[in-house]
């Protein structure tokens, strides 16, 4: 890709970006939130047309007018949101769009699929229904789909953001097999350690421009971080240590079932005090999601009680939680965090719109809202075309900033932060960590649910490890023993 | 290819939002030209007589406005519900419900002081239409029954209710036709201009356009209803009472359709009959879509539809084109 430029209404997402990819390599694309990584790859995948610049594949200039063209040229892209048909089997999902001919030759397709699985070490039952797969398996299926389409170039947009550490390791093994078999991979991620682990070459974008290209052997994490952000990043967090105060959140003996009716949380009790950060660590899928949904008020407990600030609150009522002074950062921003078709402004007041001065006697005060939202956008450095731009035009990281700005704006007593920095670049991550610590200094009690153990250890005063919905153990920050946590996370007491 | 990239862009610039419906109208007129030509008509003459028929004389223009009033109301009803993703395609039945309520007041409300009769017709029509829409909204929120199905089915239920009433308790004495007693004079909508049928209904429709505009743009309820429409999960998560929002939206939506029924009884027919509406409720769906679910857009597209409907009568007379071609357009 040479001199690619792409302009959206007011922003230049890519400004004369050049990018090359060689056979047998993993090339990482690195950059802050909104740097233009997804846009660049969407252009390569034929999803957007670039305003200027050219794309060459094996030396030949090509026009990629749609993803179909790109697939025909052996390019596949795996978005963060998978595009599987839940009610169909692995085999059927892999075949979609490439059946060829009127009649489905399932026998032949199955044979091919099994061959591919064998060659690349992807073990998936061809007859399993897509909705029964774990996130990691769904991703494997997406890769399988791409290979079934004879992809030579595989683009993966933040593939590890949704994976548990073990799944990430498996993914990396798969990627290695892919490049050893002549494929090339573009890997987008904010996790610098992962980038250093998997990629051969690293391309850094900043504000839509190329800033640097490094071989893995010639660089270090620190350098990459500062190239990305344009300044030194040293995440040294400071927080005046003061004793935790009164209990603000008490969970007693909770038992919760997930949507499939399986018990996801059992005998779960926990105390959270003012000026304290408690971390919930664990491999994803061990009850964290259900715990957060319970606390957000969108799932009811079957047994047990939730006591907020000394008062028992009924389960299943989001507004009761909000009234009790809880700020909530949901794990799934797109489906629960924001209304994608509404503007930044509309999303920013989603929780507080019925509070004065934003509204009075049922009437919205547009002027107050606008000036308040402008302040929030500035404080949280949300990169947007303006407060009237729809949030769906924001990059992944900026979307999260909108939610943070909304939730942390007030003076919450309790903060439930679920994967708050998932998909954020190092700069933004540092910012979020600082924001959380400031809230702690202010006196909030914070429950941090995160798959990122480093983050938990960095921020938390106490760490609770859960496994299969039960608490395995608890450690204080001065007695951290990584090995023990690792064992607990895998269910060994 | 340039066109392609415009389609892919996630937000349309404001001019495009206005231009698209206009383009749709022109496309309709061009496609509509085909059958006219096939039927051997003169195209220019046909369309000029269409315009003349709709707007050319005082009488024609006023008739167009008369026709526009119920269409504005049903269009508004549908657009307000659709905006919250309450798929109300039952405006027709809600219109009937409003018409029945207005007739009941207009025929049996003789004890009311005469100045109160019209307000009573309007309020009862609004409530009747509203409740007829709240029923499917209730089924949707409490029992998760699909609203498209229920709102549509309730149209047929309402037709049977009306049939039962008009062949039974509400049938005019001595009549063998399914029609009610005429409503009393005090229930007649005032006529706005002498020598015309232009009536209070148009004023009501325009006031409703402004009211819905205001609700959408300036009230907490309008904001919530929009959020529920865009992402009900996020709205629920944020503490919005989504069930209540849908119920209120349905009440207003059905109420607007009910007002259309009130107007037909109190200003056009002066009694209740089976074919009180030539499908205003269904046309309202098309009007709402063409008007981009915006109240002002709805008013304009309702006006357009009524132009076609009134103008085509003249067109068929002057250009010798069968009336059914209007239906095609
Ligand atoms: N469809 C769109 N319409 C308008 N602006 C857009 C659109 N898509 C992206 N942008 C803008 O282009 C810029 C680059 O966005 P992009 O999604 O490529 O960033 P990114 O590098 O993938 O960031 P992140 O790490 O947060 O995902 C952002 O400022 C974004 O707001
Ligand atoms: Mg991105």
A412 touches chain B (CB under 8 A): no
Q: What is the pLDDT of residues B107-160, one digit of tens each?
A: 998 899 999 999 999 999 999 999 999 999 999 999 999 999 999 999 999 999
Looking up tokens 């004065």, which residue turns up?
A: A356
Report domain B19-26+41-328's class.
mainly alpha
Predicted pLDDT at B85: 94
Instruction: Please give the pLDDT value at position B58.
Output: 86
ipTM (interface predicted TM) = 0.82
Q: Which residue has better confidence, A429 or B236?
A: B236
Please report the pLDDT score of residue B258 as a whole number.
Answer: 97
Question: Looking at chain A, which residue has its C-alpha nearest residue B2?
Answer: A49
Task: Tell me which long-range contacts A176-181 makes (C-beta under 8 A, separation of at least 24).
Answer: A177/A120, A177/A121, A178/A120, A178/A143, A178/A154, A179/A24, A179/A25, A179/A26, A180/A24, A181/A119, A181/A120
Question: Phi and psi (nearest 5°) for B288?
Answer: -60, -40
Domain ranges of chain B: 19-26+41-328
Atom of ligand 1 nearest to the CA of A205: 21
- Residue B86: pLDDT band (50, 70, 90) is very high
Pair of tokens at residue B298: 């709805």
Per-residue pLDDT, B9: 39
Q: Say yes or no for a CB contact (<8 Å) between A322 and B230.
A: no
Residue (of A303, A295, A287) closest to A320 by Cα position: A295
Most ligand 1 atoms within 8 A of CB, residue of B7, B9, B10 to mutate: B10
Ligand approaching nearest to the C-alpha of A29: 1
> A343, A388 in Cβ contact below 8 A?
yes
Contact check, Cβ <8 Å, B230/A339: yes
Q: What is the mean pLDDT of chain A?
A: 85
* pLDDT tens figures, A371-399: 999 999 998 888 888 899 999 888 878 88
Index of the ligand 1 atom closest to the CA of residue A190? 25
pLDDT of residue B130: 97
Q: Do domains A2-229 and A247-338+393-489 have the same CATH topology?
A: yes
CA-closest residue to ligand 1 atom 19? A34
Q: A89 pLDDT exceeds 70?
A: yes
Q: Say whether the peptide bond before residue A357 is cis (omega within 30 degrees of 0).
A: yes
Residue with more model confidence, B36 or A132: A132
Q: What is the CATH number of domain A247-338+393-489?
A: 3.40.50.300
Inter-chain residue contact B239 with A353, CB threshold 8 Å: no
Atom of ligand 1 nearest to the CA of A385: 31
Candidates B9, B222, B230; nearest CB to A341: B230
Local confidence band at A221 (pLDDT 50, 70, 90 cut-offs)? confident
Contact A299, A256 (CB under 8 A): yes
Residue B253 has pLDDT above 90, yes or no: yes
If one compares A54 and A374, the residue with the highest pLDDT of the two is A374
Q: Check if A360 contacts B (Cβ < 8 Å).
A: no
pLDDT at A429 over 90: no
Q: What is the pTM of this model?
A: 0.80
The label of the residue with tokens 């037709």 reads B159
Q: For residue A32, which ligand has an atom nearest its CA?
A: 1
Q: Do A292 and A331 contact (CB within 8 A), yes or no?
A: yes
Q: Does A100 touch chain B (CB under 8 A)?
A: no
Best residue of B216, B238, B240 to probe chain A, by most A CBs closer than 10 Å = B238
How many angstroms does the Cα of residue A396 sit away from the middle of ligand 2?
5
pLDDT in tens, B26-53: 777 777 667 666 666 677 777 787 788 7
The 10s digit of each residue's pLDDT in B96-113 is: 999 999 999 999 988 999
Pick the CATH number of A2-229 from 3.40.50.300, 3.10.129.10, 3.30.43.10, 3.40.50.150: 3.40.50.300
Q: Which two tokens stand for residue A83?
A: 């595009």
Atom of ligand 1 nearest to the CA of A37: 21
CA distances from A74 to A44, A152, A155, A171, B89 (A): 11, 5, 11, 21, 46
**What residues of chain B, 202 to 231, have a C-beta less than 8 Å from chain A?**
217-224, 226-227, 230-231
pLDDT bracket for residue A309 (50, 70, 90): confident
Task: For residue A149, name the pLDDT band (cuts at 50, 70, 90).
Answer: confident
B58 burial level (CB within 10 Å; 0-12, 13-18, 19+): exposed
With H, G, I as helix, E, B as strand and everything else as coil, classify residue A39: helix
The residue whose C-alpha atom lies closest to atom 18 belonging to ligand 1 is: A36
- CA–CA gap between residue A124 and residue A135 (Å, rounded): 13
State the greatest distance between any 2 C-alpha atoms of chain B, in Å, as a whole number. Answer: 69
Q: Which residues of A touch B231 (CB under 8 A)?
A: 335, 338-341
Q: What is the pLDDT of residue A234?
A: 55
Tell me how many degrees the CA angle B80-B85-B89 measures, rounded to the nearest 5. Answer: 70
Indicate if the pLDDT at residue A342 is higher than 80: yes
pLDDT at A239: 53
pLDDT bucket at B3, cuts 50 / 70 / 90: very low
Q: Do B236 and A47 touch (CB under 8 A)?
A: no
Q: Which region among A324-328, A452-456, B265-269 has the lowest average model confidence (pLDDT)? A: A452-456
Distance CA B329, CA B30 (A): 10
Structure tokens, B232:
């009900």
Q: Which residues of A touch B235 (CB under 8 A)?
A: 339, 350
Q: Spell A325-338 as b/e; 16+ CB within 10 A means b.
A: bbbbbbbbbbebbb
Please give, rounded to a whole number of angstroms, the shortest distance from the CA of A373 to a CA of chain B: 16
Q: Are B82 and B291 spatial neighbours (Cβ–Cβ below 8 Å)?
A: no
Helix (H) or strand (E) holding A319: helix A318-323
Mention every residue, 6+ apart, whose C-beta is less than 8 A from residue A228: A30, A31, A32, A35, A204, A206, A425, A426, A427
Domain residue limits, chain A: 2-229, 247-338+393-489
By the CB < 8 Å criterion, does A313 face chain B?
A: no
DSSP conformation class of A25: -
- Name the band, by pLDDT with cuts 50, 70 and 90, for residue A232: low
């Amino acid at each position: 890709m040479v001199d690619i430029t792409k302009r959206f209404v007011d922003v230049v997402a890519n400004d004369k970006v050049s990018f090359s990819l060689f056979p047998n390599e993993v090339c990482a694309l690195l950059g802050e939130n909104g740097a233009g990584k997804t846009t660049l790859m969407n252009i390569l995948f034929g999803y957007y047309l670039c305003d200027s610049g050219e794309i060459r594949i094996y030396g030949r200039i090509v026009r990629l007018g749609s993803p179909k063209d790109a697939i025909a040229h052996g390019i596949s892209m795996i978005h963060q949101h998978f595009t599987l048909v839940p009610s169909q089997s692995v085999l059927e999902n892999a075949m979609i769009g490439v059946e060829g001919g009127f009649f489905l030759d399932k026998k032949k397709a199955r044979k091919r699929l099994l061959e591919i699985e064998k060659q690349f070490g992807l073990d998936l039952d061809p007859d399993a229904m897509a909705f029964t797969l774990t996130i990691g398996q769904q991703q494997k299926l997406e890769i399988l789909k791409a290979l079934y389409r004879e992809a030579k170039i595989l683009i993966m947009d933040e593939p590890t953001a949704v994976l548990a550490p073990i799944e990430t390791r498996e993914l990396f093994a798969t990627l290695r097999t892919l490049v050893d078999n002549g494929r090339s991979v573009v890997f987008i991620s904010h996790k610098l350690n992962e980038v250093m682990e998997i990629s051969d070459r690293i391309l850094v974008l900043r504000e839509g421009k190329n800033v640097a290209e490094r071989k893995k052997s010639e660089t270090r994490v620190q350098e990459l971080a500062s190239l990305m952000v344009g300044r030194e990043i040293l995440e040294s967090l400071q927080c005046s240590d003061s004793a935790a105060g009164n209990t603000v959140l008490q969970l007693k003996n909770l038992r919760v079932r997930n949507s499939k009716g399986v018990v996801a949380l059992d005998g779960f009790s926990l105390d959270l005090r003012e000026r304290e950060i408690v971390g919930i660590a664990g491999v994803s899928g061990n009850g964290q999601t259900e715990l957060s949904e319970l606390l957000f008020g969108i799932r009811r407990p079957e047994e047990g009680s939730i006591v907020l600030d000394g008062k028992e609150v009924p389960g299943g009522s989001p507004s009761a939680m909000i009234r009790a002074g809880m700020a909530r950062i949901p794990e799934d921003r797109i489906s629960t965090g924001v209304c994608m078709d509404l503007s930044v402004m509309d999303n920013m007041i989603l929780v507080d719109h019925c509070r004065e001065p934003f509204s009075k006697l049922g009437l919205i005060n547009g002027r107050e809202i606008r000036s308040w939202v402008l302040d929030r956008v500035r404080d949280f450095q949300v990169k947007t075309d303006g407060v009237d731009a729809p949030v769906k035009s924001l990059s992944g990281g900026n979307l999260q900033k909108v939610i943070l700005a909304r939730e942390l704006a007030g003076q919450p007593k309790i903060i439930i932060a679920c994967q708050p920095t998932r998909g954020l670049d190092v700069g933004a991550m540092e910012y979020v960590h600082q924001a959380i610590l400031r809230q702690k200094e202010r006196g909030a009690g914070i429950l941090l649910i995160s798959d990122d153990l480093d983050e938990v250890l960095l921020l938390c005063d106490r760490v609770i490890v859960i496994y299969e919905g039960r608490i395995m153990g608890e450690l204080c920050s001065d007695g951290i023993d990584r090995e023990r946590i690792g064992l607990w996370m895998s269910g060994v007491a | 290819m340039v066109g392609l990239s415009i389609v892919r862009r996630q937000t349309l610039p404001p001019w495009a939002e206005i231009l698209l419906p206009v383009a749709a109208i022109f496309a309709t007129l061009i496609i509509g030209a085909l059958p006219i030509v096939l039927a051997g008509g003169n195209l220019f003459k046909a369309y000029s007589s269409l315009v003349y028929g709709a707007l050319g004389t005082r009488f024609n223009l006023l008739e167009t406005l008369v026709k526009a009033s119920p269409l504005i109301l049903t269009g508004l009803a549908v657009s307000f519900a659709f905006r919250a993703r309450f798929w109300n395609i039952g405006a027709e039945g809600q219109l009937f419900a409003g018409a029945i309520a207005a007739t009941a007041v207009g025929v049996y409300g003789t004890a009311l002081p005469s100045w109160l009769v019209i307000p009573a017709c309007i309020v009862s029509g609004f409530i009747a239409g509203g409740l007829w829409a709240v029923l499917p909204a209730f089924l949707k929120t409490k029992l998760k029954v699909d609203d498209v199905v229920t709102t549509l089915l309730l149209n047929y239920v309402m037709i049977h209710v009306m049939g039962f009433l008009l062949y039974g308790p509400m049938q005019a004495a001595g009549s063998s036709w399914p029609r009610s007693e005429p409503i009393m004079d005090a229930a007649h909508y005032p006529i706005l201009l002498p020598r015309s049928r232009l009536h209070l209904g148009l004023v009501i429709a325009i006031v409703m356009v402004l009211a819905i505009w205001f609700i959408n743009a300036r009230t907490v309820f309008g904001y919530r209803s929009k959020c529920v429409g865009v992402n009900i999960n996020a709205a629920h998560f944020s503490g919005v009472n989504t069930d209540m929002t849908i119920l209120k939206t349905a009440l207003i939506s059905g109420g607007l359709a009910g007002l259309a029924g009130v107007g037909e009884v109190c200003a056009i027919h002066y009694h209740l009959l089976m074919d009180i509406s030539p499908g205003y409720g269904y046309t309202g769906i098309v009007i709402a879509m063409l008007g981009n679910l915006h109240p002002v857009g709805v008013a304009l597209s309702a006006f357009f539809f009524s132009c076609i409907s009134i103008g085509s009568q003249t067109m068929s007379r002057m250009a010798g084109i069968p009336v059914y071609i209007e239906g095609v357009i």
